[in-house]
């Protein structure tokens, strides 16, 4: 008696899917490492360090936000917005510099 099964995958297909998944995980890990590298480089250039969400929430509760007279401040060659971020143009330049290294 023969039985026909539908919507099943063979062992070869499963192996191919596992290999693809491993390749995607590896590529994702490489991108994560690049992001961490760029974030650390940005931190060194701006003189600030990234805080974890927990530390940030504690910081928000314990200290009021500082008000500045202008929207941007000049710090180590970067114009920082009031929230501490940099413009996209400056970010692109930073990425270009990092890729040169």
Query: Is 8 contained in some domain?
Result: yes
The whole domain housing 9 covers 1-52
User: Domain total for the chain?
Assistant: 1
Query: Is 79 contained in some domain?
Result: no
Instruction: Indicate the SS3 state at residue 2.
Output: coil
Angle between helical axes of 88-100 and 11-46 (0-180°, round to 10): 110
In angstroms, rounded to a whole number, what is the distance separating the alpha carbons of residues 92 and 14? 40
pLDDT at site 49: 53
Query: Is 31 contained in some domain?
Result: yes
| Whole-structure pTM value | 0.40
In angstroms, rounded to a whole number, what is the distance separating the alpha carbons of residues 1 and 49? 69
Query: Is 10 contained in some domain?
Result: yes
Over residues 17-73, the pLDDT tens digits come to 899 999 999 999 999 999 999 998 888 888 765 554 445 544 444 444 443 333 333
Query: Is 23 contained in some domain?
Result: yes
Query: Is 25 contained in some domain?
Result: yes
Query: Is 61 contained in some domain?
Result: no
What pairs with residue 73 in β-bridges?
80
Query: Is 88 contained in some domain?
Result: no
């Amino acid at each position: 008696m023969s039985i026909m099964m539908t919507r099943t995958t063979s062992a070869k297909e499963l192996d191919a899917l596992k290999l693809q998944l491993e390749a995607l995980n590896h590529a994702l890990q490489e991108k994560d490492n690049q992001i961490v590298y760029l974030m650390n480089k940005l931190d060194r250039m701006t003189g600030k360090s990234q805080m974890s969400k927990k530390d940030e929430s504690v910081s928000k509760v314990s200290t009021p936000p500082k008000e500045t007279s202008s929207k941007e401040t000049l710090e180590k060659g970067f114009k920082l917005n009031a929230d501490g971020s940099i413009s996209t143009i400056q970010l692109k330049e930073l990425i270009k510099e990092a890729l040169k290294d």
